[in-house]
C-alpha cells in the first residue's frame, strides 16, 4: 500500500472510531465524557509517523484518542478503556483522557503535562536513548503558566522536546480571540526555541514539516515548537457546541480526509473504508463482550 493510502487508512480509522464513540454516547452505551479528534486527524497521523513507539514518547492531553491510535494502533485497548471494561489499557481506571501504554501517556489537566514531558526528555537525554519527547498542547493550554516555565527549562537545558500546539481555535466553547493575546509562534521563539508554523489540513505537508522538526531535534538535541493550525468538526466533548454552523461548514471544505482522499482512487478509498468499518465493528463487538472493570479484580 502506498504511503498516502496508509495515511488515509489511519486517519479514516481515527475518524470513524471517534464518530462511533459519539454514537455510543447517544445510545447511552457510554458514560462519563470524551473529547473527540474529528477534523484534526492529519496532525496525529502526519507527525507520529516519524516517531518510534519503542523509543520515543508522547504525552497527550484530554483530546488524546487520535494520538493514541496513531502511536499504538491499540483500538481494542482504547475502546475497552472508554467503555469501562477490564481489558481497557488502564483497566478502566483512566477512561477517555488518562491513558498509558508503553511510551504513551495522557492526562486531563492541560498545562500540567508539559513539565512532565520535559522531565521525560531530561531522563531520556541522561540515559542517551535518543528519544524525542513529544507533548501535545492546544491553544487553550497556552493560558496555563506552567507551559512557559517548561519551555524555558527545555530550552535552557537543551532537552529533546517537541512541543506541538494544535490550535483548533477553541478552548472548549471560548474562541481563541477571547483567550489568547499575541502570537503563538512567538511564544516558542521568545525562549530561543526553533519554531515552525503551518496552516494546513494536508497530511503530506504536516508529515513534511513534522519530519523536519523531529530530524532537527534528533540532530541538535534541542527542543522544537511546532504550531499546527487546525479545526475540530465535533463538539468540545459530546454535545456542547454553540459555534456558527456556517463556520463549521466552511472548515469542512478543508476536511483532511477530503484533501487526502482526492489523491486516491475511488476504489482505494472504498477498500480502505470497508476495512476500517470491519475492524471497528470487530473492535466494538469484542469490547462489548469483554468483562466490566470490577473493584479488586485484576484484568
Q: Which helix (H) or strand (E) holds 60?
A: strand 57-60
**Gap between the Cα atoms of 129 and 139, Å rounded:** 31
**Gap between the Cα atoms of 134 and 57, Å rounded:** 6
The answer to the question of residue 107 lying near other proteins (CB under 8 A) is: yes
The answer to the question of residue 156 lying near other proteins (CB under 8 A) is: yes
Task: Check the CA dihedral 220-223-225-228 and report its sign.
Answer: positive
3-state SS class at 166: strand
State which residue, 66 or 95, has the beta carbon closest to other proteins.
95
**Unique residue bearing C-alpha cell 480502505:** 272
Task: Check the CA dihedral 73-238-167-116 and report its sign.
Answer: negative
The answer to the question of residue 114 lying near other proteins (CB under 8 A) is: yes
**Unique residue bearing C-alpha cell 515552525:** 196
DSSP of 211-231: HHHHHHHHHH---EEEEEE--
State which residue, 9 or 56, has the beta carbon closest to other proteins.
56
CB of 92 to other proteins, least distance (A): 8
State which residue, 91 or 143, has the beta carbon closest to other proteins.
91
Return the residue of 40, 150, 201, 230 that touches other proteins, per CB under 8 A. Answer: 150
State which residue, 156 or 258, has the beta carbon closest to other proteins.
156
CA angle at 115 for the pair 214 and 62, rounded to the nearest 5°? 80
Cell numbers of 27, please?
445510545
Cell numbers of 37, please?
479528534
The answer to the question of residue 77 lying near other proteins (CB under 8 A) is: no
- Residue list 239-258, contact with other proteins (CB under 8 A): none
CB of 115 to other proteins, least distance (A): 3
Spatial CA neighbour of 207 closest among 26, 49, 21:
49
CB of 219 to other proteins, least distance (A): 22
- Measured from the Cβ of residue 285, the count of other Cβ atoms closer than 10 Å reads 10
Cell numbers of 193, please?
526555541
The answer to the question of residue 53 lying near other proteins (CB under 8 A) is: no
Return the residue of 157, 179, 194, 211 that touches other proteins, per CB under 8 A. Answer: 157
Q: Tell me how many residues contact other proteins (CB under 8 A).
A: 39
**Gap between the Cα atoms of 146 and 156, Å rounded:** 15
Per CB under 8 A, which region of 1-9, 124-132, 196-204, 271-279 contacts other proteins? 124-132
State which residue, 92 or 261, has the beta carbon closest to other proteins.
92
The answer to the question of residue 149 lying near other proteins (CB under 8 A) is: yes
3-state SS class at 97: coil
Cell numbers of 4, please?
498516502
Per CB under 8 A, which region of 38-46, 67-75, 103-111, 266-274 contacts other proteins? 103-111
Per CB under 8 A, which region of 19-27, 119-127, 166-174, 193-201 contacts other proteins? 119-127
The answer to the question of residue 128 lying near other proteins (CB under 8 A) is: no
The residues binding other proteins (CB under 8 A) are: 57, 59, 89-91, 93-94, 98, 100-101, 105, 107-109, 112-124, 126-127, 133, 145-146, 149-150, 152-153, 156-157, 299
Amino acid at each position: 500500500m502506498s504511503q498516502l493510502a496508509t495515511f488515509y487508512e489511519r486517519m479514516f480509522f481515527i475518524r470513524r472510531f471517534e464518530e462511533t464513540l459519539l454514537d455510543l454516547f447517544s445510545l447511552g452505551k457510554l458514560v462519563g465524557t470524551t473529547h473527540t479528534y474529528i477534523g484534526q486527524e492529519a496532525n496525529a497521523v502526519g507527525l507520529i509517523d516519524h516517531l518510534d513507539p519503542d523509543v520515543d514518547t508522547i504525552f497527550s492531553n484530554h483530546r488524546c484518542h487520535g494520538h493514541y491510535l496513531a502511536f499504538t494502533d491499540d483500538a481494542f485497548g482504547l475502546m475497552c478503556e472508554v467503555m469501562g471494561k477490564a481489558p481497557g489499557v488502564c483497566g478502566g481506571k483512566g477512561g477517555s483522557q488518562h491513558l498509558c501504554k508503553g511510551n504513551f501517556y495522557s492526562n486531563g489537566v492541560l498545562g500540567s503535562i508539559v513539565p512532565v514531558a520535559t522531565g521525560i526528555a531530561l531522563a531520556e537525554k541522561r540515559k542517551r536513548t535518543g528519544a524525542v519527547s513529544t507533548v501535545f498542547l492546544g491553544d487553550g493550554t497556552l493560558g496555563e503558566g506552567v507551559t512557559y516555565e517548561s519551555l524555558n527549562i527545555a530550552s535552557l537545558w537543551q532537552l529533546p522536546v517537541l512541543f506541538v500546539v494544535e490550535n483548533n481555535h477553541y478552548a472548549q466553547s471560548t474562541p481563541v480571540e477571547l483567550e489568547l493575546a499575541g502570537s503563538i509562534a512567538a511564544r516558542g521563539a521568545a525562549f530561543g526555541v526553533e519554531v515552525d508554523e503551518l496552516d494546513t489540513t494536508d497530511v503530506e505537508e504536516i508529515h513534511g514539516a513534522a519530519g523536519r522538526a523531529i530530524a532537527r531535534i534528533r540532530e541538535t538535541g534541542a527542543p522544537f515548537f511546532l504550531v499546527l493550525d487546525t479545526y475540530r468538526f465535533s463538539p468540545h466533548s459530546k454535545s456542547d457546541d454553540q459555534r456558527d454552523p456556517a463556520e463549521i461548514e466552511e472548515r469542512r471544505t478543508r476536511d483532511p480526509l477530503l484533501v487526502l482522499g482526492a489523491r486516491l482512487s475511488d476504489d482505494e478509498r472504498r477498500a480502505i473504508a470497508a476495512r476500517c468499518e470491519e475492524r471497528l465493528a470487530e473492535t466494538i463487538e469484542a469490547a462489548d463482550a469483554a468483562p466490566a472493570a470490577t473493584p479488586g479484580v485484576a484484568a
